[in-house]
A and B are shown apart, each in its own frame.
Chain A
């Protein structure tokens, strides 16, 4: 990046999100739970409304006007999403319910065909349960072994150890692109390069990265990239699997049913081409079209401007929280390789109590193990408070968070 991206117009952006203009417990809502789910701009809500009010129809078979329009918009959404992550072809984007379904699709359709007894799959100690449990299930089915790349106390992957973990039976690397607990951004391009040198494909869990930083699947050269729509301003129940065309051509479908076949005989069938082969049954048409509108919204703001805005807020939050007595921020302490997911603990106050006290101030955060129990064990904490940022958050909201945490600590200290 040469010139810094233009600053985003926060006032205009906030006005695009109706949910933000409300009071919670008689305080202005401060929404800092974006790693769990993001809010929805009017542009996406309007797109869903227009779909249901004017052209709700099933796709790919109707001979009528509504169906033709729904089909066109659904496929246009696929092109938008493909463009957003710079896929070479739109048909390399398979719509799924979200990241979890995308990872499970690969574990089933690809994993069952390529992973055998005695094989290895490399994961890291950072993973969310959705990029962990599907591989445990695959390993159990096929008699394979999961091996975990170690991380530093800040959550950085040990690349040297990683490079040494490849063996003749290593079949896949499945790794997060950004930790949903520590915010640490993994060196995905380097991870893929090392795997490629060993002839091993890579799946990236990009649920936390796609919404917040430019993800170019061709530049990363990843084989599989999974992400969710609802974390990138889209509706729930829609997400995508990007996979290289050659893999998708070779893989068997996961779901048999309507739309995914070419011909069906009594005892066997042949599959439709890409991407229909992997989208059996009526898909989430409205959701996909809504996701298309969501990525358009992010692109109009500019993903680099989003990253820069969040980096500034993250630096501010790291500085303010670290300044508080008894507050410990986990993960990297600057934004060189971290995004706006900030986990912390408060001495003498359990994360759930911090969460409840912040909620009383109108501040929404998450507290708990964040669906990453092995990582929490590694970090030696049972739970953390997690504040996570997005493009519509303001410096003032970061200040409110720090003040709320200080008040929570004082409340417990006083009693």
Chain B
């Protein structure tokens, strides 16, 4: 186990220069995720058009480098993707983090950099919090449509 497996350059880059950090004025999906174990909080803002394509995405909140970098990578990947494609990315990311699936760079892009977090079991939750939160937001959007606002807490 090496500390460099965890803090890869891509992760440190996203942590220090987060993409898409901030609020989104005209979001139609706003969902908060909370990890009561460590106090990490993330708020995702998405604008999904009538065709089911994510036109814009942003995030606010606070947490460790892993949770912040993971959220930055995820929101960057979300922009321009259809909701269906995004579900595939979420599934692929969760399979890599939680079931030990091989990292798929074509599917996950910068997300594969988080593979090393698997060697640090207590930090896995930091990496998946925002992805779980996004999934719930998409589910709610698909089920109800319109304006979605939710708060989700990991157990």
Residue positions of A touching B, CB distance < 8 A: 25, 349-353, 356-357, 360, 367-369, 373, 376, 382-383, 411-412, 415
Measured between beta carbons, the chain A residues less than 8 angstroms from B39 are 368-369, 373, 376, 382-383
Residue of B nearest to A349 (CB): B65
List 4 tightest A-B contacts by C-beta distance, closest first: A415-B12, A350-B64, A352-B64, A360-B3
Contact of B16 among A25, A357, A415 (CB under 8 A): A415
Closest to B37 in A: A368
Question: How many angstroms from the CA of A383 to the CA of B6 in the assembled complex?
Answer: 21
B65 touches which of A350, A367, A369 (Cβ 8 Å): A350
Determine the distance from Cα of A351 to Cα of B66 in the docked complex, in whole angstroms: 12
Given contacts A350-B68, A382-B41, A415-B9, list 7 more A-B pairs with CB under 8 A.
Answer: A25-B1, A349-B65, A350-B64, A352-B126, A353-B66, A383-B39, A412-B12
Q: How large is the interface on B (under 10, 10 to 19, 20 to 34, 35 or more residues)?
A: 20 to 34
Q: How far is the CA of A325 from the CA of B1 in the complex (A)?
A: 29
Cα A356 to Cα B119 with chains together (Å): 12
Verify B126–A357 contact, CB threshold 8 A: no
Choose one: B13, B62, B65; the contact of A353 (CB below 8 Å).
Answer: B65
Which residue of the partner chain B has the closest CB to A348? Answer: B16
Residues of B within 8 A of A383 (CB): 38-39
Chain B residues, Cβ within 8 Å of A415? 7, 9, 12-13, 16
CA–CA, A104 to B63, complex, Å? 33
- Report the Cα distance A376→B62, complex, angstroms: 14
**Listed residue (B64, B68, B126) with the most chain A CB atoms within 10 angstroms of its CB:** B64
- Min CB distance A128 to B, Å, is 15
A351 surroundings in chain B (CB, below 8 A): 64
- Measured CA separation A369–B1 after assembly (Å): 27
**Do A356 and B9 touch (CB < 8 A)?**
no
For B6, B16, B38, B62, the residue with the greatest tally of chain A CB atoms inside 10 Å of its CB is B38
Interface pair B123/A356, CB less than 8 Å apart = yes
CA distance A25 to B119 in the complex (A): 13
Query: CA A382 – CA B3 in complex, angstroms?
Result: 24
